[in-house]
């Protein structure tokens, strides 16, 4: 069994729609973070506001 500290968890959010899904995608990313995910990836339209918002959370809370 792999020790918990060595596990790599990546969350993939499929189908993000810029301007429509920022709230749900942000919620998925923050939930992933709370559950210990190492990486978050989203597909669909690039959303600079979403990326900035999530980077701000990481800067403030680690």
φ, ψ dihedrals at 18, nearest 5°: -55, 130
Has residue 62 got a pLDDT over 80?
A: no
Give the residue, 19 or 47, on which the prediction is more confident: 47
Domain assignment of residue 36, yes or no: yes
What percent of the chain clears pLDDT 90, i.e. is strictly above it?
A: 66
Cβ atoms within 10 Å, residue 21 = 19
Domain assignment of residue 59, yes or no: no
Domain assignment of residue 61, yes or no: no
- Domain limits for position 42: 4-54
Q: What is the pLDDT of residue 58?
A: 87
pTM of the model: 0.78
Domain assignment of residue 25, yes or no: yes
Has residue 7 got a pLDDT over 90?
A: no
Domain assignment of residue 60, yes or no: no
Report the Cα–Cα distance between both ends of the chain, in Å, rounded. Answer: 28
């Amino acid at each position: 069994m792999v020790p918990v500290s060595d596990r790599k968890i990546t969350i993939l959010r499929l189908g993000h729609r810029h301007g429509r899904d920022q709230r749900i995608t942000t919620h998925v990313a923050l939930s992933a973070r709370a559950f210990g995910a190492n990486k978050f990836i989203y597909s669909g339209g690039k959303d600079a506001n979403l990326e900035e918002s999530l980077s701000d959370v990481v800067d403030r809370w680690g």
